[in-house]
Amino acid sequence: MKKKTARWLRDAYFDFFKKRGHRIIPSVSLVPEGDASALFISAGMHPLVPYLMGEPHPLGKRLASVQECVRTQDIELVGDSFHHTWFEMLGNWSLGDYFKEKAIGWSYEFLTKVLQFSAKKIAVTCFAGDKSVPRDTASAKVWRQLGIPEERIFFLPRKDNWWGPVSQTGPCGPDSEMFIDTGKAKCSPGCRPGCGCGKYIEIWNNVFMEFEKRADGKFYPLKQKNVDTGMGVERTVRLLLGLEDDYLTPIWQPIIKTISELAQKPYKGDWRRPMRIIADHLRAAVFIIADGIVPGNKEQSYVLRRLIRRSVRQGESLGLSVGFSRQVGAAVIANRDNYAGEYPELDNLEVILSVLEDEEQRFRRTLQRGLRELEKAAQKLIDAKKTMMSGKEAFFLYETFGFPLELIAEELGKSHLKIDEKEFEEEKGKHQQISRRAAKGRFKSGLADNDSRSIAYHTATHLLQAALRQILGSHVHQMGSNITPERLRFDFAHPRPLTALEIKKAEELVNQQIEAGHNVERLVMPFNESRKMGALAFFRDRYPEKVSVYKIGDFSLEVCRGPHVKNTTELVKLGRLVIVKQESCGAGCRRIYARFEK
């Protein structure tokens, strides 16, 4: 029998869909380009948003990929057998081409013929319908025709059977999910796929993306009916191997073994949770660093810092000594052939490992300082003849030093002190609300909106890059881009701050080009040819063999997904593009904020 590895699964998936007219697209960088609406790519469809909304894709209407993803919303759940922060997702897409019948038929064929799951073990779910979108009887009909009996077709509400949008707005739709019945007993008479008891394991999701959620919260039909599917690699390999725990697959085992050896403890019982968290968090950290992020206090950098710090705390509970992050990180990289995708950015081994090492050391110093603070606070309470630390103070320690409540309780317990846990939870709740509100602000809008102002800023970003290259030199190239309907933010390689004169010149040049009324043309060509023509490309991304190149007069030529305005005069009505701020974004990197002002 062939070895059921992640690579085997990937190749089988690609072969199957290639034979059915799909072209393979490469995995993009974890950091979404030009999109401020999300911190990380969280699904295979994420980089395809413009195409799901109707932009033509250079490779046609049938695509497939294996995409690396990061999901941070479930970070607290990591530690069980199947939640992962970084994971790989296989997917196939129809961009306004085939729909339910073919998509479901192929999913069934792939599961039963290629992966050889017994048809008897497959259970499926379909959207039950609600006020705004009707019940998905069409999908259920296809399942029935394929032979899935009524008792294994479950109609579930929006909470379970609706996917997307990936941020606050964008393409979305009802989905039909496939589960493998593990044969375990039902947890209750109402036991069903998605109930979480472990009887049914989700293996694949077919989303029928025919709606767009707009900022008004309503759903509007899209120009085209799309299919977006997603199959988690880790989970599928685990099921193929008949294992009960993702971490027992070859995808994770070498990492777990390294942790187990360093800790001199077996991967068993209560040791499993901290080992899984360390393996998960450091694997995610390695891939995030490989995509150019360093630990810090904002956005992606903050997520990275949290991952490394949470892992260090778990490391302490296992008694791992200083430097373990580097060793586990090295195991993550050495294990690269066991991931489904190929990640050449992992060649940057030394940089990745030293970032991990530095952050671990920094955090261990903070922890020591925190423990001293905690001792002092305990002494103050004792001096004041108090027996309880206020929830507010405990929350401060929790926030500042990243101490979990158990750790604070344990330390205080040594002096027979307690924590006001109720007040602590209240404080935590308040804080969560604040961060949720802030996140909403962030997610309010972004390129995923396809909002017309965002599109305008996207085109302006191309003009700005071309202008900066004319004025500062051809060493200038994009290192990042982040667009909202209110402004553009552009990071580029340049060793020093821009002078007032350079800023003025750049503004003048961009506005001149806008007023010149250039058509924005989309050309489709092989990636290599686009490079030969001098088209700029974003260094972090990998590109499919054929790409879209956007040409703005003779002024700018860039490989890009779009969308863009049709003619630069469309920007005139927004005002003049003004550079409102510049700052550093690391060594050799400048960041510019610009907006249209009337």
CB 69 within 8 A of CB 39: no
Question: Which residue do the tokens 């023509």 mark?
Answer: 533
- Return the range that interacts with ligand SER (CB under 6 A); candidates 42-50, 107-115, 485-493, 523-531: 42-50
Is residue 473 classed exposed, middle or buried when 0-12, 13-18 and 19+ CB atoms within 10 A define those classes?
exposed
Residue in 36, 66, 180, 207 binding ligand SER, rule: CB under 6 A: 207
Q: Are 9 and 90 in contact (CB under 8 A)?
A: yes
Choosing from 38, 43, 49, 95, the residue that interacts with ligand SER (CB under 6 A) is 43
Q: Which stretch binds ligand SER (CB under 6 A): 40-48, 77-85, 233-241, 352-360?
A: 40-48
Q: What's the rounded Cα separation, in Å, for the pair 375 and 282?
A: 30
State both tokens at 118. 């017994």
Pick from 47, 91, 173, 274: which binds ligand SER (CB under 6 A)?
Answer: 91
CA atoms within 13 A on the CB side of 223: 9
Residues in 273-302 that interact with ligand SER by CB under 6 A: none
Task: Using the rule CB under 6 A, give the single segment among 38-46, 99-107, 189-197, 305-313 that binds ligand SER.
Answer: 38-46
Candidates 27, 205, 258, 482; binder of ligand SER (CB under 6 A) is 205
DSSP label of 111: I
Stretch binding ligand SER (CB under 6 A), from 122-130, 141-149, 227-235, 321-329: 227-235
Helix (H) or strand (E) holding 479: strand 478-483
User: Contacts with ligand SER: how many residues (CB under 6 A)?
Assistant: 10
Residue of 353, 453, 272 whose CA lies nearest to 263? 272
Is residue 230 at the binding interface for ligand SER, with CB under 6 A as the rule? Answer: yes
47 binds ligand SER (CB under 6 A): no
For ligand SER, the closer of residues 163 and 550 by Cβ is: 163
> Which residue is listed with tokens 């008949």?
242
Q: Characterize the bridge pairing of strands 122-127 and 153-156.
A: parallel
Minimum gap (Å) between residue 336 Cβ and ligand SER? 24
* Cα–Cα distance, 68 to 15 (Å, whole number): 19
Q: Is the Cβ of residue 22 or residue 305 nearer to ligand SER in the bound state? A: 22
Cα separation, 60 vs 62, in Å, equals 6
Q: Which is nearer to ligand SER, 231 or 468 (CB)?
A: 231
In 20-133, where does DSSP find H-type helix? 49-52, 100-109
CB of 91 to ligand SER, least distance (A): 5
User: Minimum distance between the CB of residue 163 and ligand SER, rounded to whole angstroms?
Assistant: 5
Nearest to 589 by CA among 499, 502, 497, 494: 494
Q: Quote the least distance from Cβ 64 to ligand SER, whole Å.
A: 11
Is the CB of 57 or the CB of 310 nearer to ligand SER? 57
Among 127, 162, 163, 550, binds ligand SER (CB under 6 A): 163
Q: Rule CB under 6 A: choose which of 228, 280, 357, 359 binds ligand SER.
A: 228
Closer by beta carbon to ligand SER, 43 or else 237 = 43
Nearer to ligand SER, 71 or 257 (CB): 71
**Residues across the chain:** 598
- The residue among 89 and 408 lying less far from ligand SER, judged by its C-beta, is 89
CB distance 458 to 451 below 8 Å: no
| Three-class secondary structure of residue 241 per DSSP | coil
Neighbours of 335 (CB within 10 A): 20
Q: How far is the CB of 342 from ligand SER (least distance, A)?
A: 21
Q: Shortest gap between Cβ of 54 and ligand SER (angstroms)?
A: 18
Other CB atoms within a 10 A radius of the CB of residue 365 amount to 10
Q: With CB under 6 A as the contact rule, which of the stretches 133-141, 183-191, 225-233, 583-591 interacts with ligand SER?
A: 225-233
CB 167, min distance to ligand SER, A: 13
Q: Per-residue b/e over 169-206, b at no fewer than 16 CB within 10 Å?
A: bbbbbbbbbbbbbeeeeeeeeeebbbeeeebbbbbbbb
User: Which one of 39-47, 339-347, 433-441, 503-511 is the stretch in contact with ligand SER (CB under 6 A)?
Assistant: 39-47
Q: Which is nearer to ligand SER, 161 or 229 (CB)?
A: 229
The kind and range of the H/E element at 434 are: helix 421-443
Part in contact with ligand SER (CB under 6 A); list of ranges 37-45, 70-78, 185-193, 296-304: 37-45
Using CB under 6 A, pick the residue from 32, 34, 44, 563 that binds ligand SER: 44
Binding region for ligand SER (CB under 6 A) out of 96-104, 128-136, 223-231, 285-293: 223-231
C-alpha dist (Å) from residue 182 to 90, 154, 290, 407, 430: 22, 17, 37, 38, 41
With tokens 């922890």, the residue in question is 367
CB of 23 to ligand SER, least distance (A): 17
- Taking contact as CB under 6 A, which single stretch among the options 41-49, 115-123, 329-337, 344-352 is the one that binds ligand SER? 41-49
Strand order in the sheet with 488-493: 478-483, 488-493, 589-597, 576-584
Residues that bind ligand SER (CB under 6 A): 43-45, 91, 163, 205, 207, 228-230
